[in-house]
Amino acid sequence: MLIVIPELDEEQVESTIGRFRTIIERTGGEAEDTNHWGKRKLAYEIDHRKDGFYAVLQFTAGERTLIELKRILRVSDDILRHIIVKLPPSYSHQPLPEPDLEPAEASA
């Protein structure tokens, strides 16, 4: 998951995410799904910012790809936060669900 700075426009966000997909593929990994959640409010301020563009990328990669990806994510000025999670071997690949952007309606 990536949180991209909110000052960028949609095209620049796409370009930033595409850059990381290219890094994954160039270093021997395989980029699969990308799920854009759009601009959302952060749980807490990060670098005096209250919003960020969220994106979830699913990919398979070896050690070389992970090392390079982590290095570039740490020094990228366009990324507020990132996390890489290794899925268990029993995980069966399914498309990512779309986030629930509509507020839940109260039941009477």
44 lies in which domain range?
2-82
91-101: pLDDT as tens digits: 766 665 666 66
pLDDT at 105: 52
Number of domains in the chain: 1
Does 101 reside within a domain? no
pLDDT at 100: 65
pTM, entire model: 0.76
State the average pLDDT over residues 58-68: 89
- The per-residue pLDDT for 90 is 75
Helical axes 63-75 vs 10-26, angle rounded to 10° = 150
Distance CA 2, CA 79 (A): 7
- Average of pLDDT values for 8-30? 91
Q: Is residue 8 part of a domain?
A: yes
Mean pLDDT of all residues in 32-58: 91
